[in-house]
Structure 1
């Protein structure tokens, strides 16, 4: 993701950081934000506070002072994460939508691997980042996407009950009193509501089965005015519909059994993207169903949705399932392509961690984690905006603009 910034790109970065500085208000915050952002955009392998301060300070005798100032900015300073993130999101979206409209919002989560027990929110828990249960923090993210670009605009730290209900831990991590235990689904819905309130464009929410299994998540997304395309687990019970909405006389079946019953002949090959090495395609079937869930309402009264089923070439049976409210006027290929947009989030996580130090924060406090993530999101928003340019900066070793000049 490194690139050579020409003078024009440096000027754009200077203007961008100046705009964020206006949001921050205080001159020292402006300077510290620019210093920290340039550290994340720079070449250093480790992008935590101490090495960033060391690289930014030309006077070895003042490195410790610079370190303490930057540490205070990240861990203790009272500035508005939401306001900065919204500005960064609008900046990236303004560039992205020059090529294509924002259509999708993607909910996902990622792990921040840790060794100790004192970083806020850390415990042994499952994360897809490691593919296992391990010692980590979990961050829930909201991204927005066009057909060509994908940018994360919000993040929330998942705070397990072992932290939320422990007064000593809360004091140590300086967790605000108003922060209480919330599920990952709760955090995701709050971010969706927040983005909607700020007028972020988009019309469909995408998520994996960790969120899609929740009827409350699906219903809330619909109440907020969005369509959805969300993964579900194979045991999910559905009631198939015949043509014109007539209910199939057979009883409810699991999504897996229903797909198996259809047989291989019902699945058609569809391509959703041209990858770097090969065309991405698989076999899919789409059927109208009603979904069973424990709400006291007969399943026949639940609104019909599409059940999307995938039968990968190397599998003896269908293995992937999703529910979507995307309209029938869309082609099957378009529905599949929209749903598959969420998989780009993994690439975004890789870049945020590998290139911008998203998981390099070594502080232990609640505010510090969110401040660090805000700066990383702001840096990524700038990079995405640069990528939309007809002639983006070349892939080469970057020139490092001076922090104070950009902070002015």
Structure 2
């Protein structure tokens, strides 16, 4: 197979740069029946793009094959530093309707995997960094092009572990040009329901773990509805909406002619401000222990496998006001919405090390779905807002 031609690193226009990034397959290897190639190719391109302009560049690859790239334009000193954080991975290309890497523009929209989530925002951030190079800023301007946000956010974790910090950050996720100041967190659990293996002809010897798991799934569904109703009567319900829980994966035995000895249930729990990992684990433990008392031969094992906190920045924070002003100008005086989101972003990790962040990106649609697109005009507006925000904050 002939080698792919190198991508053009001379591009300095936000739409064309987005198209180039989309045309590089950086789908996350953690997803799909056939995992994607990961971030090496796109990290290599971003590095070459930065080095072509003599921008200081750093390569972070604590996990082999999962690199992140940092570009920095250093200020003269005495000013505030700003980080633009954008993930370079996408979800799987499998099941995409059409050319996932085409980046075609039709009726003012660009289509392809990652057009919205979030290579368009990343392109705007790259050009903001380039703009910083033309200015005499006092503060540093940092581009953090990070791996693995779609899975476990190893990129931003490793970035922070390497010591990178800023006085504020913008996460360029697609927000519809709204400013996001708060969002949910999430926790992952695995529950093993234990049975007893036997031949399918011997019910006297076997205990069906999948059937026992059914009791738990019924209770889990009831609990999910209780969570949704938890704040129904509150005068000031959480901006992010109620917490939620669902079963995403069930795995049992490999053949039909046997009683399964184990059924594993994978659970996702979306948490809100005030909820702790210990508290939400206890909720599941109570459900399971009640089933031990009520269901004959019910045995289980619960594991908490992953946890991410929610994020919150007060609406009256000075950085939100600054971003709002520049976004208003870039959008021709339009009224800007500041709101909550239900999904999780790397802003929560930045918050853990005292980096106040806003989530701001273009008008994009079809995230993680069979067709994804971004509105080209909103991308141009975003690029202008990023540049002017950076110019004032770092001056």
Q: TM-score when scaled to structure 1?
A: 0.27
Select the structure that is richer in helix. 1
Q: TM-score when scaled to structure 2?
A: 0.28
